[in-house]
Amino acid sequence: MDSKITVILIGIILALGGWNLNQTFQLSIEINQLKSQYVNIEISMKQVKNQIAKLNKKQKNSKANSIIQQN
């Protein structure tokens, strides 16, 4: 009787350990996915900042050209 209870308890502990490892692995996969999404967002933000800088530069140049043409 005691050996059956011991075997059942060991089985439960092993099952919980396996479940815990599975959850840990799933979390690591999710973290890697989030990191790659973060990198993609950073790249997109840099591209948008560069586009904004180019537009601002064009606007400054067009204002300067219009002032020169008025004089």
Residue 48 phi, psi (nearest 5): -65, -40
pLDDT at residue 71, rounded to an integer: 56
Q: What tens digit of pLDDT does each residue of 13-60 get?
A: 999 999 999 999 999 999 999 999 999 999 999 999 999 999 988 887
- Give the pLDDT confidence score for residue 2 in this predicted structure: 85
* Res 33: pLDDT: 97
What count of Cα atoms within 13 Å lies in the side-chain half-sphere of residue 56?
6
- CA–CA gap between residue 44 and residue 34 (Å, rounded): 15
Q: What is the pTM of this model?
A: 0.60
pLDDT tier for residue 9 given thresholds of 50, 70 and 90: very high
